[in-house]
C-alpha cells in the first residue's frame, strides 16, 4: 500500500504542469493511436491484461508475465493514405525479468499542398512518425507485484518539420488477493518536447477479472490525457468459445465531446489460436472519419 501511495504522488506531481494545457497542445499525437488488435477490440481496457510483447505499449510492468519468447507484428489499416504498424519482441532473461524491444510507425502519404485556393494541389508531402522502444519488467514482491519501464526514441517528420524526443513509460501490475483479479497502473510519454510542443502525457489504470476457468475476461480502465485535459472510461470483454477461438468487444466512453459521429468508441473483434500462433482482428469505427481494421499476428516459442 505504501508503494501504491508513493506511485500516486509521483504521477500527480508529473501531471501538475499540464494544468494550463488544452486540447491540441501536444506534439507526436500519433502516440495516442493504440497498437494491437486484441487490446483495441476490447476498447483499450488492457492495462491489467497484457501477457505478450504488446505489453511494451500498454503496460511494461506486465512484461514480467511473459514466460516464453514472444514475437508480435501488427498492421492497422486506418483512414485514406494512413497506415500503422508495430513489431515487438519480448524474452525472459532467466530470473532477472523480461526484456523487450519494439518499433512502431504511423505514416500518412499524399497530403496535398496548396499555395492558394484551387481544386488541384500544387504538390504533396508525407507525415512519417516512428518510435523505437527498449523495455524491461520484472516481479519485485513475491511474484505479486511487477514493475516495468519503456524507454522510447520518438521521431516525427512532417513536410519541413523534423523533430525528435526521448520519453519513458512506467508501469506496474498487481495480482490482488482476490483470485483472478489483477490491477494495472501506467504513465506514458513522460519526456522531452518534440519541437515546441510537449508530448501527450497519459495516465492509465484499471483492473481485469477472469471467470469460468479464465474463459471469460472482463476489464475496465480509466485514461487521463493530461495535456488535453480529457478522460475516457474503457470497458472490454473477451470470451474463449474453445481453446482456438475468442470473441471480443469493448467500448470507450467519453467520445461524445469529440463530435465525430455515431459508433465512435465501439470496438469488436476475434482471436484465432493455432498451436503457437495467434491471429487477432479488431474492427474499430470512427464515425464520420470511417472504419478501421487492425490485424496482429503473434508467435510464442
Q: What digits encode the pLDDT tens for the residues 118-140?
A: 666 666 767 889 999 999 999 98
pLDDT score recorded for residue 142: 77
pLDDT score recorded for residue 5: 40
Domain carrying residue 104: 2-300
More confident residue, 22 or 64: 64
Q: What angle do CA 65, 66, 72 make, to 5 degrees?
A: 135
Q: What's the CA gap between 53 and 57, in Å, rounded?
A: 8
pLDDT score recorded for residue 24: 56
Number of domains the chain contains: 1
Burial 8-32 (b: 16+ CB within 10 A, else e): eeebeeebeebeebeeeebbbebbe
Q: Does 15 have pLDDT greater than 60?
A: no
Q: What's the CA gap between 186 and 266, in Å, rounded?
A: 23
CATH of the domain at 195: 2.40.160.60
pLDDT score recorded for residue 189: 97
pLDDT score recorded for residue 132: 97
- Residues 2 and 175: beta-carbon distance below 8 Å: no
pLDDT score recorded for residue 287: 78
Give the largest CA-CA distance in the chain: 66
Which of 30-34, 178-182, 189-193, 267-271 has the lowest average pLDDT? 30-34
Mean pLDDT of 24-33: 84
> Phi and psi of 142, rounded to 5°?
50, 35
pLDDT score recorded for residue 256: 61
Q: Tell which residue, 87, 36, 88, has the closest CA to residue 66.
A: 88
Mean pLDDT of 244-273: 84
Amino acid at each position: 500500500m505504501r508503494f501504491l501511495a508513493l506511485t500516486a504522488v509521483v504521477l500527480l506531481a508529473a501531471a501538475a504542469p499540464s494544468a494550463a494545457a488544452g486540447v491540441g497542445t501536444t506534439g507526436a499525437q500519433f502516440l495516442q493511436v493504440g497498437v494491437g488488435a486484441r487490446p483495441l477490440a476490447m476498447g483499450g481496457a488492457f492495462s491489467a491484461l497484457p501477457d505478450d510483447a504488446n505489453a511494451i505499449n500498454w503496460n511494461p510492468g506486465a512484461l514480467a508475465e511473459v514466460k516464453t519468447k514472444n514475437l508480435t507484428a501488427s498492421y492497422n489499416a486506418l483512414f485514406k493514405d494512413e497506415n500503422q504498424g508495430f513489431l515487438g519482441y519480448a524474452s525472459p532473461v532467466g530470473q532477472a525479468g523480461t526484456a523487450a524491444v519494439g518499433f512502431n510507425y504511423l505514416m500518412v502519404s499524399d497530403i496535398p499542398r496548396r499555395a492558394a485556393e484551387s481544386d488541384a494541389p500544387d504538390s504533396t508531402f508525407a507525415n512519417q512518425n516512428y518510435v523505437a522502444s527498449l523495455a524491461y519488467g520484472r516481479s519485485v514482491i513475491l511474484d505479486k507485484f511487477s514493475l516495468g519501464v519503456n524507454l522510447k526514441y520518438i521521431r516525427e517528420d512532417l513536410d519541413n518539420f523534423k523533430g525528435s524526443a526521448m520519453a519513458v513509460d512506467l508501469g506496474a501490475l498487481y495480482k490482488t488477493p482476490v483470485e483472478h483479479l489483477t490491477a494495472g497502473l501506467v504513465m506514458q510519454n513522460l519526456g522531452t518536447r518534440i519541437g515546441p510542443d510537449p508530448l501527450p502525457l497519459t495516465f492509465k489504470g484499471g483492473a481485469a477479472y477472469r471467470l469460468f476457468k479464465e474463459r471469460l475476461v472482463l476489464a475496465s480502465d480509466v485514461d487521463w490525457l493530461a495535456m488535453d485535459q480529457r478522460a475516457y472510461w474503457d470497458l472490454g470483454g473477451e470470451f474463449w468459445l474453445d481453446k482456438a477461438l475468442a470473441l471480443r468487444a469493448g467500448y470507450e466512453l467519453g467520445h461524445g465531446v469529440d463530435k465525430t459521429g455515431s459508433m465512435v468508441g465501439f470496438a469488436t473483434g476475434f482471436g484465432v489460436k493455432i498451436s503457437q500462433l495467434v491471429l487477432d482482428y479488431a474492427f474499430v469505427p470512427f464515425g464520420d472519419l470511417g472504419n478501421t481494421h487492425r490485424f496482429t499476428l503473434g508467435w510464442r516459442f
